[in-house]
Copies of this chain bind each other. A is one copy, B any other.
Amino acid sequence: MDTVFAHFSRYISLSDTLKTELAAVLTPVHFSKGELVLDAERTCTRSYFILQGMLRAYFLKDGKEITDFFSAEEEWCNSPKSFYTQQPGEYYLDAIEPADAMAISARDLVSLFDRFPEMERYARLSMGTVFGHLMERIASLRFTSAKEKYAHFLQTYEGIHHRIPLGMVASYLGITQETLSRLRADR
């Protein structure tokens, strides 16, 4: 639980009351490697704060899995639109490594937003961080060669990139695995 608190503390100061409330609604979950965390057919009712391991979000295009993002230690993972609207979304979530996480339901989160203004602030600020990453990614997807895209990926996922299978990286970058493989071999 300390890890979760430490994360929140990067954005807001946590009162004891809020700590207690958070502890009450965060439940530990485990996913084994390859396990489907969320099926796109279903609504994403919970958000996962990852303590250990890695989850991935992907969608299907022409029957193929297109990876959209990876979430590792000390990050939240959910199907954003689905979690926000509480309607089924387009994303599948799966565990590409065995994972331990703390889960919070959308219901409980909304209740916290209603009772703790600092939770609103936390959400606004942490969202801002992710927002910046999305904008950088958009920039890196346009007018850049496959090599530049890969370089940007290595930078963004510095420290975890080696834990991600090549095929998933390729679809994340919007290039084929063949191209990425050649790129790594430097040709």
Contacts and interface: CB of A to CB of B under 8 A. Distances in A.
Instruction: State the oligomeric state as a number of copies.
Output: 2
Contacts of A127: 124, 127-128, 131
A61 interface: yes
Contacts of A143: 61, 66, 171, 174
A173 B137 CA distance: 14
Interface string A46-62: 00000000000001010
A132 interface: yes
Interface in A135-176: 135, 137-139, 141-143, 171, 173-174
Contacts of A66: 139, 142-143
Interface in A98-140: 113, 117, 120-121, 123-124, 127-128, 130-132, 134-135, 137-139
Interface residues of A, number: 29
Contacts of A138: 68, 134, 137-138, 141
B134 A124 contact: no
Nearest to A57: B135
Contacts of A123: 124
Given A117-B120, A120-B120, A120-B121, 20 more contacts: A59-B139, A66-B139, A66-B142, A68-B139, A80-B131, A81-B135, A84-B128, A84-B132, A113-B124, A120-B124, A127-B127, A134-B134, A134-B135, A138-B138, A138-B141, A141-B141, A141-B142, A142-B173, A142-B174, A143-B171
**Which 5 A/B pairs are nearest by Cβ-Cβ distance?**
A142-B174, A117-B117, A120-B120, A141-B141, A134-B134
